[in-house]
A and B are shown apart, each in its own frame.
Chain A
Amino acid sequence: MDHDPHTAVLPHAEPHAADAGHHHQASTRLYFVIWGVLMALLVLTVAVNEYDMGQWNFFVAFGIAMVKAVLIVLFFMHVKDSPGLTKVVACAGFFWLAIMLGLTFSDYVSRTWMGH
């Protein structure tokens, strides 16, 4: 008897289906909490910016933006409750972006190392 790939997937697929149904009934309170946190982070990033910390200003602002983005992706875009494949694709876009930024800057940053 052939092993049907569909049946192999089913045990994983079923708990997810039940999970997704449950997710839709979830209280909307969490959305308000996330919004509150996002607002707090907005106030924080503007407030911190009043202090001159040299190079660090940019990294603090960038870090706060990253936290906000992750909160939006996980909760507002409900990736937290999405199937694994969606999670992988959602990460892939940012991963490719990291490759683009990483390789470009590995060039520009290291140019001065040659000493001319």
Chain B
Amino acid sequence: MSEAHGVLAHHFDDLDQQRDSAELGMWLFLATEVLFFGGLFLAYTLYRTQNEQAFADASASLNLRLGTINTFVLLTSSLTMALAVHAAQTSQRKKLVQLLTATLVLGVAFLAIKGVEWHEDYVENMIPFLTTHFHLHHGPNPPRPASALFVNLYFLMTGLHALHMVIGMVIMAIYTLKARVGRFDGLRATPINLLGLYWHFVDIVWVFLFPFLYLIGASEHGP
């Protein structure tokens, strides 16, 4: 247990207890995040039940192809993140740096694709709070009033999700630099593990955002 020297804080009995406590703290934070995003999902679901057609119209105007590619990108980044945690715990320093970098690149790719979508929406006058001529890409024009509500919720939810990704990626970039000098080898892997929990949570939020935002205009999507 010589490696444990300097890793174990004096107020913990052993390293397992220390690690479990850190994980528990992260999960408590994630529980608050579930409710934070949950409030938006509640607002979304409530307004959708009252304006089903308007929501379906606006949903059909989103870019399903890019949304699907982005889901693929983000789920894959969760795989590289899970592998990164494993690499840290098994002291595979080079692999850890590579996997963190891969996760970071996939995160950048996701935000870039999201940016392309947002830009499309801007050009198409589909951002209600940035245009006086709100217009749906595919759909009845002029749109039903509640379609603007859907698009506003879309920007709020994807925007907050993107903000969470940016925060995770800043931490990930710092950790990647620290990982190069062996800061997270073996018993010191906990910060990577916690970052992993956060990253997977952000992935889960997207797993729900994707069907809620992109897949409710089913019958109206063109080929």
Q: Is A90's CB under 8 angstroms from B35's CB?
A: no
CB proximity to B under 8 Å, residues A17-65 = 17, 20, 24-25, 28, 31-32, 34-35, 38-39, 42, 45-46, 49-53, 57-58, 61-62, 64-65
Q: Is A20's CB under 8 angstroms from B16's CB?
A: yes
B interface residue count range (under 10 / 10 to 19 / 20 to 34 / 35 or more): 35 or more
A interface residue count range (under 10 / 10 to 19 / 20 to 34 / 35 or more): 35 or more
- Out of B27, B42, B49, B216, name the residue touching A89 (CB < 8 Å): B27
Main secondary structure of the interface of A (DSSP, over half): helix
**Is A85 in the interface zone, CB < 8 Å from B?**
yes
CB proximity to A under 8 Å, residues B133-162 = none
Q: How far apart are the CA atoms of A75 and B85 in the complex, in Å?
A: 12
Q: How far apart are the CA atoms of A83 and B23 in the complex, in Å?
A: 10
Q: Is A58's CB under 8 angstroms from B216's CB?
A: yes
- Out of B28, B31, B35, B72, name the residue touching A42 (CB < 8 Å): B72
Q: Is A104's CB under 8 angstroms from B42's CB?
A: yes
Q: Return chain B residues, CB-CB under 8 Å to A69.
A: 204, 207-208
Q: Return chain B residues, CB-CB under 8 Å to A77.
A: 196-197, 200-201
Q: Is B45's CB under 8 angstroms from A101's CB?
A: yes
Q: Is A65's CB under 8 angstroms from B208's CB?
A: yes
